[in-house]
Structure 1
Amino acid sequence: MLEILIDNRNGKVWNITSLVPSLTYKTKRSGAASSLDLTVIKGSQYQSASFEVNSGDVIRLRHDDRNIFYGYVFEINTGKDESVSIKAYDQIRYLLANDTYVFRDVTASQIVKRIADDFDMKTGLLADTEYKIPSMIEDNKKLLDIIYKALDLTLIHKGGNYMFFDDYGELSVRNIQDMKVDFVIGDYSLMYDYGLKRSIDGDTYNRIKIYQDNKQTGKRDIHILQDSANIAKWGRLQLYQQADEKMNTAQINEQLNQLMALKNREQKSISIDAIGDLRVRAGCFIPVVIKELGINQYFLVDDCSHKFDADTHTMKLELRVV
């Protein structure tokens, strides 16, 4: 059973579960805060005359005593009818601010911790991401982008894939291998529709070009790795980026190989419509079985949207191969 609470942050906490006929809870693996959109029926016989909701109020969503969402009201829409639309985000929304940071020899988790401390944000489990980033100089950059850059560098250099998310009011970093769910989605299990997309349009590259400014010679050193066979098939898809000035040739070659392994492939994504299960959120690693597509493997959940409407709970998942 759902439980929805609004905390006015003035000592009053309202249980509005019976006033909410529908809600949508969305999570994304990267780039955005989790959100909760809900409709509240105003003037209900179950509603206290002193009930109110204001920007900044805390909303908590639980299901069967399990913590689901902890966030803050950012939008309130009212009209002549009896419904009030409310949108809330978790604390990752506050990481859309810009600032300047210089980091040296720190891990991605240490970067998360420092930013969280600077902005008075709570942290929870921060996995040891191990790889120490030699340097990151971020001038007037979005805080969330800084964090994801650190996680991307960790993936490229260490091979570990980590998820950053808000875990019921605590910023957390976890290895996706620790976010596996223990049930299958697919044929005869929750799923009632699916779609498959294959693309080289987004994050596919068959030529990696890395440059490094050489202070000793005053010239720019260029390092290239390419897959000529895939260039013949797809055309040249080039990724061009800068190497850290402290990296040596062996480290740059390692980065070239890592990037080629990650990027030089057709991207496959699957969308699934299924009966809802709140154990699934973006960042989960979930086994999928679809015989018609010959699929029986784990997928990473990129986007997850749970919708509650009356007595119906459904979810839409956007999945991708890791």
Structure 2
Amino acid sequence: MAVTEFRLGKRDLSQPWDVSQIVTNIKWTTDIDFAAGELVFTILEVNEGFFPSNGDSVCFKWDNNRTFFGYVFSINYTSDEKIEVVAYDRLRYFKNQDTIVWPVGNALQRFNSIMARTSTPHDNLATATANLPAEVSDGKTYFDMLKSAFEATHAQSGNRYAMRDVYGLVQFIRVATNNGAYISDRTTTIIGDGSLLIDFTFGSSIDELYNVVKLIRETEDEQKRTVYTTKTSNSDSSQRRYGTLQVVEKADDKLNDSQMQDRANQLLRQYNKEKVTLTINAIGHEAIRAGTRFYISIQDLRDIGIGTREVLATKVTHNFKHDWTMTIDAEID
């Protein structure tokens, strides 16, 4: 396996320059946490009148697989005549800020609206039906707007969504559900003993766990006095196991008592979880990138009660060298 195409050119793809024979230290990172895909690489300087510019396009294929398309955002030229370059995919432009008045609608509609506004090629690999209330996003980044919509949809429906750039095409994907229903990128790839695995690190924490949620609404009565309404949701079993861990949040003053209780229950489901981290170092595989679900089967994890199961890759870094490897941050549902 090797670099089979690596071209830099003008933004309109004109004047392409083949650097496949002089590129090295290629590292590609994807992350579903509202971050652009990043490609870092080094070009060995040659005396042929070529030097990259910020804004140039980058096309990279590994083993004939279309791997990365994006644009140069940073260049450093060192005294040993090496050119160090950082490029990002189209998601980098979702750090742009804007003001949008959103009508009632769902997360997919907001995604499509932003894609149209920014003239971004896109594809919808999932649907979203949970309606979100009308709101104004004033001076926020497109990432922040979509993050707010995705998180509200997750809290309301249990479906978790993400976005990613696949060689210049931005996709709307579903990465998790409460019932294991349709997932946009589910593979049968297994990483484990004798199958791609190099090593792993596993950890768990309750530092961010809460098993008592108090939701407080502030309103004014006819005499303009502030009235506080409190709804509480708690887990007795979690309290017995971890002790009482309580959080207080403010509720929208437009919520009625029943809606407040529903919201408190939603927050409890969100907060009452141990944070489990799993980092895997493995031999590179073209199917794995952020947003992909795959299987783990590792005896050392089975010894502590984590058997063969499907996990979600939340962040993946591929290092393309003579030995192609990848580091995966995985989430265990």
Task: Report the TM-score when normalising by structure 1.
Answer: 0.89
Aligned position for 1:205 = 210
Q: Given the alignment of the two structures, is residue 91 of structure 1 paired with residue 90 of structure 2, yes or no?
A: yes
Deviation at 1:13, TM superposition (A): 1.2
Deviation at 1:274, TM superposition (A): 0.5
Residues 126, 211 of structure 1: alpha-carbon distance in 2 compared, 3 angstrom cutoff: farther
Alignment of 1:57-206 (within 5 A): 57-125=56-124, 127-176=126-175, 177-202=183-208, 204-206=209-211
Aligned residue identity for 2:9: D
Contact 1:109 1:126 in 2 (8 A): no
Contact 1:134 1:246 in 2 (8 A): no
Higher mean C-alpha displacement, 256-265 vs 217-226: 217-226
Q: 1: CA distance between counterparts of 2:204 and 2:301?
A: 13
Over residues 90-138 of structure 1, what are the superposed CA-to-partner deviations in whole Å (9 max), with x where a residue is unaligned?
1211212333333231111111122222233332225221111023333
Aligned residue identity for 2:212: R
Deviation at 1:280, TM superposition (A): 0.5
Deviation at 1:261, TM superposition (A): 2.3
Alignment of 1:234-313 (within 5 A): 234-244=242-252, 247-294=255-302, 295-309=307-321, 311-313=322-324
Over residues 257-276 of structure 1, what are the superposed CA-to-partner deviations in whole Å (9 max), with x where a residue is unaligned?
33322321211111111001
Deviation at 1:216, TM superposition (A): 6.8
Over residues 224-275 of structure 1, what are the superposed CA-to-partner deviations in whole Å (9 max), with x where a residue is unaligned?
2122443455454444444445544444333333332232121111111100
Aligned position for 1:319 = 330
Aligned residue identity for 2:298: I
Aligned position for 2:178 = none
Alignment of 1:49-60 (within 5 A): 49-60=48-59
Report SS of the residue matched to 1:52.
coil
Over residues 50-73 of structure 1, what are the superposed CA-to-partner deviations in whole Å (9 max), with x where a residue is unaligned?
423100111122234432211110
Aligned residue identity for 2:288: V
Over residues 268-312 of structure 1, what are the superposed CA-to-partner deviations in whole Å (9 max), with x where a residue is unaligned?
111111001121111111111112221311111121110012x11
Aligned residue identity for 2:23: V
Aligned position for 2:11 = 9
Gap runs ≥5 in structure 1: none
Contact 2:34 2:163 in 1 (8 A): no
Over residues 21-65 of structure 1, what are the superposed CA-to-partner deviations in whole Å (9 max), with x where a residue is unaligned?
220000112131110000111117xxxx24231001111222344
Aligned residue identity for 1:264: N
Aligned residues: 316
Q: 2: CA distance between counterparts of 1:137 and 1:232?
A: 42
Residues 119, 313 of structure 1: alpha-carbon distance in 2 compared, 3 angstrom cutoff: same
Aligned position for 2:180 = none
Aligned-residue Cα RMSD (Å) equals 2.2
Contact 1:109 1:129 in 2 (8 A): yes
Residues 212, 164 of structure 1: alpha-carbon distance in 2 compared, 3 angstrom cutoff: farther
Deviation at 1:320, TM superposition (A): 1.3
Q: Given the alignment of the two structures, is residue 29 of structure 1 paired with residue 39 of structure 2, yes or no?
A: no
